[in-house]
Amino acid sequence: MKDIQLRDIRLKKSHMAQAFDASAQQSLLTARAEEALALAKRLGADAAEVGASVDQGIGISVRLGEVETVELSRDQGIAVTLYVGQRKGSASSTDASSASIQAAVEKALSIARYTGEDKAAGLADAALMATELPDLKVHYPWALTTDEAIELALACEQAGRDVEGISQSDGASLSSGEGVRVYANSHGF
């Protein structure tokens, strides 16, 4: 069974860095956030904020020279919070299509219209919003195929097992992932 699973995995030849373009993802998420903000304003929200994200990853675990698990993941989401006066409503979706964004905005607006007033609800003052966003240099993509990840995990475990006196292993694992997050609000942030 493991031979079949490993063969199927290797046939896929997943290559994370080629499949995930962080710059393109950021542009897409920014456009989706702007779409949600414009819709919220058009439907009557006094203020709005949007958070959108997409993440992709790979996880490999091996034990005693055999592959135990291979996990490839890709998640996305968009969340909107709208304010009508001092009333707040939030909704989210894992589907970033225009229809889904519209449904989330409409649901959040509906919720906001039926919640109680909260004098602490609302966006922070526009003057408090950051105006300079430095590059924190935290994005270091790792162009790693599924085969390479398996080979590295197996090599790591074997390095431990090669130490004199070590005959058993709880295994080794390798994981890598990258993601993009976008935040926007009706103050122009």
DSSP code, position 126? G
Q: pTM value?
A: 0.80
CATH number at residue 90: 3.30.2290.10
Is residue 94's pLDDT more than 80?
yes
Domain span including residue 57: 2-123+132-185
d(CA 37, CA 42): 9
Query: What does the pLDDT look like over 154-177, one tens digit per residue?
Result: 999 999 999 999 888 999 999 999
Q: How many domains does the chain have?
A: 1
How does the average pLDDT of the chain come out, rounded?
A: 89
In this structure, what token pair is assigned to residue 1? 């069974």
Contact 50, 183 (CB under 8 A): yes
- Own/partner pairs for 97-104, CB < 8 Å, 24+ apart? 98/35, 101/32, 101/35, 101/36, 101/39, 102/39, 104/36, 104/78, 104/79, 104/80
Is residue 12's pLDDT more than 80?
no
d(CA 48, CA 101): 13
Range with the poorest average pLDDT among 45-59, 81-95, 127-141, 174-188: 127-141
